[in-house]
């Protein structure tokens, strides 16, 4: 089955700096790659997603890039703010068969004011 690895496990940046979180996946059939943000004691919320027919997607300060050949994708947050502090999860899934997300182990992002 699918295996998703996520790095780093913790990341501390200064306010205004950029943050990058990287994930790799194992199943070349995966075609959907969302990123979720989870605040303490709450359920994860989707912040951006990308499909395998696209190499990059941006939404204001957040961008995701996908390299299908290398089977890795990354989350980029620019101009970080204290409210960006949370745990971020990447995930992957395939379009047929088991249509459930496989998650990475998470990255705890701390933005220092």
Partner 1 sequence: DGGITQSPKYLFRKEGQNVTLSCEQNLNHDAMYWYRQDPGQGLRLIYYSQIVNDFQKGDIAEGYSVSREKKESFPLTVTSAQKNPTAFYLCASSIGTGTMNTEAFFGQGTRLTVV
Nearest CB to partner 1, comparing residues 51 and 58: 51
CB of 9 to partner 1, least distance (A): 7
62: CB partners within 8 A, 6+ apart:
35, 47, 48, 75, 76, 77
How many angstroms separate the CA atoms of 100 and 105, rounded? 16
25 class by beta-carbon count within 10 Å (0-12 exposed, 13-18 middle, 19+ buried): buried
According to CB under 8 A, which residues from 1 to 20 bind partner 1?
1, 6, 9
Q: What is the dihedral angle through the alpha carbons of 71, 101, 52, 76, rounded to the nearest 10 degrees? A: -70
89 near partner 1, rule: CB under 8 A = yes
49 near partner 1, rule: CB under 8 A = yes
113 near partner 1, rule: CB under 8 A = no
Stretch in the footprint of partner 1 (CB under 8 A) among 14-22, 31-39, 58-66, 69-77: 31-39
40 near partner 1, rule: CB under 8 A = no
Residue matched to tokens 């502090």? 85
Positions touching partner 1 (CB under 8 A) are 1, 6, 9, 31-32, 34, 36, 41-46, 49, 51, 89, 93-96, 98-106
């Amino acid at each position: 089955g699918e295996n998703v690895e996520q790095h780093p496990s913790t990341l501390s940046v200064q306010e205004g700096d950029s943050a990058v979180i990287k994930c790799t996946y194992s199943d070349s059939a995966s075609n959907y790659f969302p990123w979720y943000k989870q605040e303490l004691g709450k359920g994860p919320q989707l912040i951006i997603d990308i499909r395998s027919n696209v190499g990059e997607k941006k939404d204001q300060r957040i961008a995701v890039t996908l390299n299908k050949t290398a089977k890795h994708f990354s989350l980029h947050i620019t101009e970080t703010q204290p409210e960006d502090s949370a745990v971020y999860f990447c995930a992957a899934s395939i379009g047929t068969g088991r249509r459930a997300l496989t998650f990475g182990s998470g990255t705890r992002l701390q933005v220092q004011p």
